[in-house]
A and B are shown apart, each in its own frame.
Chain A
Amino acid sequence: MVTAARTPFLETRDISRNFKGVTALQGVSFTVSLGEVVAVVGSNGAGKSTLMKILSGADQPSGGSIVIEGSPARMRSPLDARRAGIETLYQDLSLIDTLDAAGNIFLGRERGRPWALGALLDTPVMREQARTLLVELNPTVPLDRPVSSMSGGQRQAISLARAIHFGAKLVILDEPTAALGVAETALTLEAIRRFRAGGHCVILVSHDLVDVFDVADRILVLRAGKLVGSRMTSQTTSEEIIHMMTVGTGRETP
């Protein structure tokens, strides 16, 4: 997918993070635009988790700034990030096993019946909206069962639907396919594409370069806390990315 030049949704400027003398991130600057899937790759300890924590509001940078839609953002908590339109889906996933899909998508923001002044749950409306959201992301999700009985991919679709419903513009996915089978992975990647097609953007943290090349528009490579490379997926190879991850420099690109 070709991304036209436009105001990026998210921009980081010279982000750094020090932990008592250890530099976890140093001078990380990049942008993510709406309609774009950006993958962040790197070996263990390259600083991916620290960067994601900062972007999700769970951690604060030691230096540098985050700009959202052109204006500086202060993200002191995950709630700040959520308000700014950034939703982070972690590996352990934030679902309530005993509730169904609609119950999870609307958790904390349940719809009430107008005639009861909102005191009573409007289950039919919530279920219908859940159906509309999920049919786009993963049509195999059953609507009448608790999510405990669902597969990883189905649970992921519910999390994504929840993020969309909350008005997230940027979703950060942390190793979304790490525990999924082949078919499930395909469904998740498809869900990411559909999410992108809806004008949203995604930051994908993944070890799996096959998935990254499959779905990402751009790949950022972190090594030892520094951003050592940024490539359009269409203009690079996994050999080059691996080279950057391990050695820190890319080959000359045309």
Chain B
Amino acid sequence: MTTTLTQNPDSRRALTQIMRSRQLLLLLLILIWCVVIAVNQPRFLTIENLINVSDQAAILAIPAAVMTLIIISAGIDLSVGSVLALGGFVSASALVAGIPTIPAILLGIIAGAFIGTANGTGIAYFGIPALILTLAMLYIVRGGVLFLSKGETIASDFPDLYRYLGTGDLLGTPIPVLLSILVFLACGLVLRQTRFGRHVIAIGTNEDVARRAGINVRRVKLLLYTACGAVAALSGVILAAKLNAATTNAGYGSELDVIAAVIIGGTSLFGGRGTIIGTALGVIFLALVRNGLNLMGVSPFLQIFTVGLLLFISAMADVIYLRMQK
């Protein structure tokens, strides 16, 4: 019926091994980077600095975990940056309006989930390409937040419980870091250990086959984008809590950083292949690169350049892998 040409199984298996150890490679790169920077800047490897780095990375890490699932399903969500701002804006507005902290936080998250549901519905049930629909949502949501806030930052004396979400810590670990670890563990469990995760992989590999196997493709997609909206908004709430202010440009452009972290972590943009641990390493690597370059006084412009270079290499590795497989 069908054949996969097996011209050279040995070399291909070797390549698969290398690719499988792509995460190890990334880990190695991270360690090398740490050593290089630490030698030049002793301040780099202090607990204080590392906690600081992970605290900053947490904002991007939370949406990156769910974005990994979306990209494995051969989808994309460009609206996370705007939804992040929406989450902060809605929760902060709710607090200003006198709504108690926990309902205010939930309102922020629900607002994000609502946008995610809109994305998921358009993509899964109306067949709108994810790239276009979520790009539209990027503008719609950002524009909506700017309009409703009249472009003004909502800064107030937010309740302690709200601030705790952004600035608190548990046994020395910042709450944002703890939350992102929780989100990563949950996504990892979902991807590898549940039927849902299995279906995400199947859809990303071959949607027709998945549908023919009886998988409810639409439902899976709807849930994915809804979850992405919810966690992006959660990130926005955390950011607002951290800054004690909801700014209208919060998360501006962060969707690209999130996607970059996922791709650098080894997830294929073509769908079907990827790992949550890879994304965790991708997020950590990007944060350490930025922080290290900062400490060494390297121009921020060159930092942007470096992120681009890393992304380029990851994309090349992905394409080469697919070529070799064929």
Contacts and interface: CB of A to CB of B under 8 A. Distances in A.
B215 interface: yes
A156 B209 contact: no
A99 B4 contact: no
Contact of B198 (A78, A121, A173, A174): A121
A175 B204 CA distance: 28
A78 B3 CA distance: 24
Given A107-B215, A110-B195, A148-B325, A97 B3 contact: no
Contact of A78 (B4, B12, B201, B212): B212
B213 A94 contact: yes
Interface residues of B, number: 28
B2 A155 contact: yes
Contact of B2 (A92, A99, A109): A92
B21 interface: no
B205 to A, nearest CB: 5
B13 interface: yes
Contacts of B201: 96, 98-99
Interface stretch (A5-13, A25-33, A176-184, A216-224): A176-184
Contacts of B1: 89-93, 152, 155-156, 159, 173-176, 178-179
A29 B206 CA distance: 37
Nearest to B198: A110
Size band of the interface chain A makes with B: 35 or more
A112 B209 CA distance: 21
A149 B16 contact: yes
29 contacts: A78-B212, A79-B214, A91-B1, A91-B2, A93-B2, A96-B202, A99-B202, A103-B198, A107-B198, A107-B209, A107-B210, A107-B213, A109-B214, A112-B195, A120-B194, A121-B193, A121-B194, A121-B195, A148-B4, A148-B325, A149-B9, A151-B6, A152-B1, A152-B4, A155-B1, A156-B1, A174-B1, A175-B1, A176-B1
Given A89-B1, A91-B1, A108-B214, 14 more contacts: A94-B209, A94-B212, A96-B205, A98-B204, A98-B205, A108-B213, A110-B195, A120-B193, A148-B4, A149-B12, A149-B16, A151-B3, A155-B2, A180-B3
Interface of A: 78-79, 89-99, 103, 107-110, 112, 119-121, 148-152, 155-156, 159, 173-176, 178-180
